[in-house]
Amino acid sequence: MENVEKKLREEAKGLLAEKKVDVVVGYEKGTLPLTATPCFITTPEEADRLVWNPFCVLNLAKFVHDLLDQHHEAQKRVKPEARRKKVVGVVARGCTSRSLVIQLQEKQYGKDEIVILGVPCGGYLDGKKLAALAGGEEVREGALSEGKIVVKTVSGERQAALKDLLADNCLVCHFNQPVIADIQTGEVAPVAEAEKEYDPVTAFENLPPEARWAYFEKEMAKCIRCTACRNVCPSCYCRICFAEQSQPRWVDIGADASDTQLFQLMRMYHMVGRCVDCGSCTAVCPMGVDLRKFLKKLDKDAFEMFGHRAGVSLEEPAPLGAYRETDGEEFIFEPKAGG
């Protein structure tokens, strides 16, 4: 990983020095142990702040979209002859690159407006698993060396293998390399146990409907409607979200359980064939809502019914955004139990 980080800094420095990009969106060291946080590098000198390690969690495509969207809006107020292009460089792992593909497919910006700094990825550290390792105590210090995470808490030192602390989505990831990249910074990382990808969903599907609904209700009851899940999602970029529309008002803002359930249900249904399982929504949730369970079910449906994996190729549109004569229709006429 050190080599990738070194190469990443060099490439970013070069892009900025040659003015090929206006900004590089990447990760820098966070203020808490074992964390990295998104950063925006605009000068070659700052490029040494960039890091690449298993603490880099969030999908940065969200920021790429927002930067370019804001720029496009701002340019509308400028005379056509004075308009300028903004180019955003982005540090992209597999899932981030897939989100970039989705945004490109959905014509949010042009390929010439981004430079993809591809990084190999072996997965990121899961906050909940780390908290469990620390026994619910605060992680006061932490270190990663030779595949081992060592944390210090008030009651002592604990350690675990990094692979046991990786996020669930990383453990079943098919995309340890970016699907598209302008610059590659490293070797292929080991492939995870991708064949087990849908096992937990299948197990969940096999539960009786009451049990599934009870789980949904239990998880949604934790939600405080901070909207971190929606705001971090690279596929959730509506200028005005349905949750904030007032004519008509789809979802009320109070704490009524049905409003929270509806907000999450509608958001998730907008993700069919557009969710790359980056895990960002689950990672940012302050209340620990298991959003992934439901999103993964929709992802499984998109895969099984349409053979589609979100954002894998620029040529293949999302199933609900395209029509094919071979599209299945059994789910309308012969819905399966649990389907």
Partner 1 sequence: MEKRLIKKETLAGIVGELAGKMRVCAPMKAEDQVLFRILEAGEKPLVDFANTKNAPKNFLFPRTETLLKFTRTGKGMVRAGEPEEGEKTLLFGVRPCDARSFTLLDMLFDQEKYKDPYYIDKRAKTTIVAIACVHPPYTTCFCTSVGGSPVDSVGVDLLLTDLGNEYLAEFLTPKGEELLAAFGGSPAGAEAEKAKEGIAARAAGEIASHIPAHEIKPILDTHFEDPFWNTLHQKCLACGTCTYLCPTCHCFDISDEVKRDDGIRIRNWDSCMFPMFTKETSGHNPRSSQKERWRQRVMHKFRYYPDNFNAIACVGCGRCVMACPVNLDIRKIVTDIAKI
Tokens read off for 234 = 């690279």
Q: Which is nearer to partner 1, 100 or 302 (CB)?
A: 100
CB 158 within 8 A of CB 148: no
Q: Which of 164, 193, 256, 304 binds partner 1 (CB under 8 A)?
A: 256
Q: Which is nearer to partner 1, 137 or 182 (CB)?
A: 137
Q: How far is the CB of 112 from partner 1 (least distance, A)?
A: 23
Rounded distance, CA 306 to CA 320, Å? 10
Q: How far is the CB of 254 from partner 1 (least distance, A)?
A: 4
Q: Which is nearer to partner 1, 154 or 188 (CB)?
A: 154
Rounded distance, CA 263 to CA 276, Å? 20
Q: Return the range that interacts with partner 1 (CB under 8 A); candidates 94-102, 253-261, 296-304, 320-328.
A: 253-261
Distances (CA, A) of 13 to 23, 62, 86: 10, 22, 17
In sequence order, the β-bridge partners of residue 149 are 144, 160
- What is the β-pairing status of strands 23-29 and 36-41? antiparallel
Q: Which of 130, 283, 295, 312 binds partner 1 (CB under 8 A)?
A: 283
Rounded distance, CA 314 to CA 179, Å? 9
One-letter amino acid at 93 equals R
Q: Which is nearer to partner 1, 136 or 156 (CB)?
A: 136
Stretch 170-229 residues interacting with partner 1 (CB under 8 A): 222, 224-228
Does residue number 138 form part of the binding site for partner 1 (CB under 8 A)? Answer: yes
Phi and psi for 149 in degrees, rounded to 5? -100, 125
The residue with tokens 């949730």 is 285
Number of residues that bind partner 1 (CB under 8 A): 39
H helix runs in 122-243, sequence order: 127-133, 168-171, 199-205, 209-222, 228-232
Q: Which is nearer to partner 1, 127 or 311 (CB)?
A: 127
Q: Which is nearer to partner 1, 6 or 152 (CB)?
A: 152
The CA R_g of the chain, rounded to the nearest whole Å, is: 21
Cβ neighbors of 311 (< 8 A, separation 6 or more) are 97, 98, 99, 100, 101, 102, 105, 179, 274, 276
- What is the β-pairing status of strands 156-161 and 148-153? antiparallel
String of contacts with partner 1 for each residue 305-334, x by CB under 8 A: ------------------------------
Q: Which of 17, 132, 211, 214 binds partner 1 (CB under 8 A)?
A: 132
Does residue number 284 form part of the binding site for partner 1 (CB under 8 A)? Answer: yes
Q: Which of 76, 82, 136, 203 binds partner 1 (CB under 8 A)?
A: 136
Element (DSSP H or E) covering residue 17: helix 2-17
Q: Return the range that interacts with partner 1 (CB under 8 A); candidates 78-86, 90-98, 278-286, 298-306.
A: 278-286
Does residue number 35 form part of the binding site for partner 1 (CB under 8 A)? Answer: yes
Q: Which of 1, 87, 104, 131 binds partner 1 (CB under 8 A)?
A: 131
Q: Which is nearer to partner 1, 3 or 70 (CB)?
A: 70
Does residue number 244 form part of the binding site for partner 1 (CB under 8 A)? Answer: yes
Give 280's Cβ-side CA count (13 Å radius).
27
Q: How far is the CB of 251 from partner 1 (least distance, A)?
A: 11
Element (DSSP H or E) covering residue 103: helix 94-105
Interface residues with partner 1 (CB under 8 A) are 30-32, 35, 37-40, 58, 62-63, 70, 128, 131-132, 136-138, 140, 154, 222, 224-228, 231-232, 244, 252-256, 283-284, 286-288
